[in-house]
């Protein structure tokens, strides 16, 4: 049976997950409503402008959706907190473990792809097509479904999802599955993000020079040197995942984990969706609230010349560095 303090810790994790579910749900609902309104206007033949909106940022919305799944994965703990113990073999246990794996992998891979996308544009000077974000989202979820589904199918006749302390997850007897279904992607994503954003920071400060592999490097780099918000998402991810990773690594190696620390790490990790949603609204307000547009229906932009020619690129401030509009002059 859980003690009072353990139930209190589980309650804190549930509260944090509730905030994450609320925050991500609001952004996703806004994006859906906004998309419907745009489609209705198009169907009525109106020449409405296409300003930046939350519906345009597929990678960030994908992160919100993954955060939503991760938050929902904590909700079965309401039953565990009420009962005082975890019931293995129930649909609640199966749902919790599955949602947690899907959400945690989705958050890790989405955060990593956002970093790769930003690095490719700002540092390498690549010109990515507009559908690159949607393709990346599809790849993320196909890959996530495979790593979760294949491991579950391999052990379909075993007690795969069991009580692991304060929630249901992969049985500790299946160490390889624990690694390949979650740990490997979560830790490797965090490590790669540290490298990517570290290189971006050095490039933006002019400390290192990276070859212009894509033939296009926005001079807007100088403008973004004073903007630190692109480092907010990896910072939130690493801060939220680090305590939980330490707790899981200790447990993975058979070392004692203090219950208070384990529950604190779980609550902080569950809060990542709320923090990401808050960052989304604070650092990218024009993607959530109605943006201003110019006479041609474009959001305020910076025109960047590639060469000595008259051809250039509009780097939209409201869309951020993850979305570049090529304007032919």
Listing DSSP states for 163-183 in one string gives: E-SSSEEE-TT-HHHHIIIII
31-69: pLDDT as tens digits? 888 888 877 876 665 544 444 444 447 888 999 999 999
Sign (positive or negative) of CA dihedral 174, 175, 179, 182: positive
pLDDT, tens only, 120-135: 877 777 777 878 888 9
With a CB cutoff of 8 Å and minimum separation 6, the contacts of 231 are: 197, 200, 201
User: 178: closest CA among 152, 216, 143?
Assistant: 152
Nearest alpha-carbon partner for 313 in 225, 230, 221, 231? 221
pLDDT above 50 (res 315): no
What's the confidence (pLDDT) of residue 43?
66
Give the pLDDT band (50/70/90) at residue 138: very high
Q: Is the pLDDT of residue 204 over 70?
A: yes
Q: Which helix (H) or strand (E) holds 302?
A: strand 301-305
- Residue 53: its pLDDT value, please? 41
The torsion region of residue 304 among left (phi > 0), alpha (psi -120 to 50) and beta comes to beta
Using DSSP's 3-state secondary structure scheme, residue 279 falls into helix
pLDDT of residue 325: 30
Tell me the chain's radius of gyration from C-alpha atoms: 22
The total number of residues shown for the chain amounts to 329
Exposed, middle or buried by CB within 10 Å (0-12, 13-18, 19+), for 40? Answer: exposed
**Between residues 215 and 262, which one has the greater pLDDT?**
262
Mean pLDDT for all residues in the chain: 79
Rounded to whole angstroms, how far apart are CA atoms 324 and 312? 11
Single out the residue of 18, 147, 136, 31 nearest to residue 70, CA to CA. Answer: 18
Identify the DSSP state of 285: G
Region 259-288: what's the mean pLDDT? 85
User: Mean per-residue pLDDT for 16-28?
Assistant: 95
User: What distance in Å separates the CA atoms of residue 25 and residue 310, rounded to the nearest whole number?
Assistant: 44
């Amino acid at each position: 049976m859980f003690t009072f303090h353990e139930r209190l810790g589980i309650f804190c994790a549930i509260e944090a997950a509730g905030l994450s579910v609320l925050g991500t749900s609001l952004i996703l609902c806004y994006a859906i409503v906004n998309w419907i309104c745009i489609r209705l206007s198009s169907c009525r033949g109106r020449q409405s402008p296409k300003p930046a909106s939350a519906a345009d940022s597929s990678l960030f919305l994908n992160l919100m959706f993954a955060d939503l799944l991760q938050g929902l994965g904590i909700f079965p703990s309401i039953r565990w907190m009420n009962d005082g113990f975890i019931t293995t073999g129930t649909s609640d246990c199966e749902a919790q473990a599955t949602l947690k794996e899907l959400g945690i992998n989705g958050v890790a891979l989405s955060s990593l792809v956002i970093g790769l996308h930003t690095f490719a544009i700002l540092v390498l000077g690549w010109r990515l097509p507009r559908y690159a974000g949607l393709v990346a989202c599809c790849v993320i979820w196909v890959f996530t479904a495979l790593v979760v589904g294949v491991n579950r199918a391999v052990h379909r006749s075993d007690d795969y999802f069991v009580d692991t302390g304060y929630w249901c997850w992969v049985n500790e007897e299946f160490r390889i599955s624990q690694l390949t279904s979650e740990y490997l992607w979560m830790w490797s994503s965090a490590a790669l993000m540290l490298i990517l954003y570290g290189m971006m920071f050095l490039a933006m400060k002019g400390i290192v020079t990276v070859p212009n592999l894509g033939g296009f490097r926005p001079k807007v780099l100088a403008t973004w040197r004073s903007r630190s918000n692109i480092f907010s998402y990896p910072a939130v991810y690493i801060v939220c995942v680090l305590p939980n990773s330490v707790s899981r690594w200790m447990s993975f190696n058979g070392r004692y984990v203090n219950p208070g620390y384990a529950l604190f790490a779980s609550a902080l990790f569950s809060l990542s969706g709320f923090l990401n949603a808050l960052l989304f609204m604070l650092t990218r307000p024009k993607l959530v609230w109605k943006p201003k547009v110019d006479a041609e229906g474009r959001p305020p932009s910076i025109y960047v010349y590639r060469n000595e020619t008259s051809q250039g690129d509009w780097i939209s401030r409201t869309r951020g560095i993850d979305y570049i509009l090529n304007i032919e002059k």
